[in-house]
Amino acid sequence: MKKSAFAWIAVFLGLAASAAFSQDIAAGLKEALAVGTGNAVQTLSKSNGYFGDAAVKILLPEKMQKAAEVLKKAGYQKEVDDFILNMNRAAEQAAPKARPIFEDAVRKMSFEDAQKILKGGNTAATDYFKAKTSSQLTDVFKPVVSDSMNQAGATRSYKALTDRYNSMVPFGKMDAFDLDSYVTGKALDGMFLKVGQEEAKIRTNPTARTTDLLKKVFAK
């Protein structure tokens, strides 16, 4: 009986410890995600957050690159450069919209999600965010990008550059495309890249674990 009682107590204590650790896992993951996404949003929301970072800077669409070279040689270097700058400024203005969406995804994360993320690779949490938030982020980013592009004159600039190129190279006509969707997509690519970098730092660099809970969970 004593053995049985002691065994039962041991099992109970083991389960209690496991449950406590499980709570730590979920809380630690949520804290890590909050820290990582918060840092990423803050970084990209600043002036030159996109434009000044080669890893996330939004460049000309591929179908415009050949035309841009022709335009630069024809004296339109400044117009091309301004167009690139305005695309990145639009992304920087949209970036803060990601914060509440990321926070909501963190709140809704289940313990099963947390376990998979903890046991996954260095960007498992980022992959989770992509799956859960991409559609919603696109919906909120695109109107901001569109407004910013219009206000900065990027949309007019794009049309002017297209018209100039088509008049200069009549047999190499550059077709119009959805510029707002392009900038929105690239802005989100940059956002997830930054979130992934923040996640990898927390997983692999002890100095990036800035709270006791993060240290406890990721040390295990």
Paired tokens of 213? 């809970």
Whole-angstrom distance, CA of residue 40 vs CA of residue 133? 15
Q: Please state, in angstroms and rounded to a whole number, the distance separating the CA atoms of residues 159 and 155.
A: 6
Report whether 37 contacts 129 (CB < 8 A). yes
Q: Give the integer Cα–Cα distance in Å for 118 and 131.
A: 17
How high is the pLDDT of residue 216? 67
pLDDT band at 13 (very low <50, low <70, confident <90, very high): very low
Interval 34-46: pLDDT, tens = 888 999 999 999 9
**End-to-end Cα separation, the chain, in angstroms:** 36
Question: Alpha-carbon distance 61 to 86, whole Å?
Answer: 14
Percent of the chain predicted with pLDDT > 70: 79
How confident is the model over 71-127, as pLDDT tens digits? 888 888 888 898 899 999 999 999 999 999 999 998 888 878 887 887 888 888 899
Residue 159: CB partners within 8 Å, gap ≥ 6? Answer: 176
**More confident: 15 or 162:** 162
pTM score over 0.85:
no
